[in-house]
Amino acid sequence: MKLFVILFACALAISSSFAYDPSPLQDICVAIAEPKNAVFVNGKFCKNPNLTVADDFLYQGLNMPGDTNNKLGSKVTPVTVDQIPGLNTLGISAARIDFAPYGLNPPHTHPRGTEFLIVVEGELYVGFVLSNQLGNRLITKVLKPGDVFVFPIGMIHFQLNVGKSNAVAFAGLSSQNPGVITIANAVFGAKPPINPDVLTKAFQVDKKAIDYLQSQFWYDNN
């Protein structure tokens, strides 16, 4: 019996070393008892391979500039599995980011993907903030055309056009659906609103400041 227990423990340890949970491909995926009531799996349902066509793997128009006529002066054009169905299960996506002069892609995170950014026009001041364990240290750089910068998965990051002309960058991300959480929108534009008592204590300001921020229209440039 003792030998059996030892062998079982060894087998369990070995098998568990090869087992893992799949990475989430959307914000939430709640288990359901009745499959007939299910909406989708972790990701997207797969099309019959015999029925696939070239357009399943195609997105057109990324050469067209996005509309930056908004409060932020920027526009993100995503190319994820929602735009290219053929990206399903492949673990990659892309985006084009257009900036008006002094336009900002505000502090945000991608909960499911690392991002690398390639500047093709203009100059961008970019950065990301490390975790609490590393003292929330800010890593920044001014990028010029041809420069490539990486934003690690989950880190709060931003891009600001510091030039007097338009700027353009392209991004690649390590998920078919990396997700976006814009910090200001999530904290002050949550629906329903976060209790002001939480935010006044978190930000160490009075309720009037929180009421003002929660009353604003938080534009989403995605």
Residues belonging to the binding site for oxalate are 105, 110, 115
Q: SS3 string of 158-210?
A: EEEECCCCCEEEEEEECCCCCCCEEHHHHHHCCCCCCCHHHHHHHHCCCHHHH
Pairing of β 74-79 and β 148-151: unpaired
**Half-sphere exposure of residue 31: CA atoms within 13 angstroms, side-chain side:** 1
**Annotated binding residues:** 105, 108, 110, 115, 157
**Annotated binding residues for Mn(2+):** 108, 110, 115, 157
Residue found by looking up tokens 């392209």 in the block: 170
CA distance 88 to 85: 6
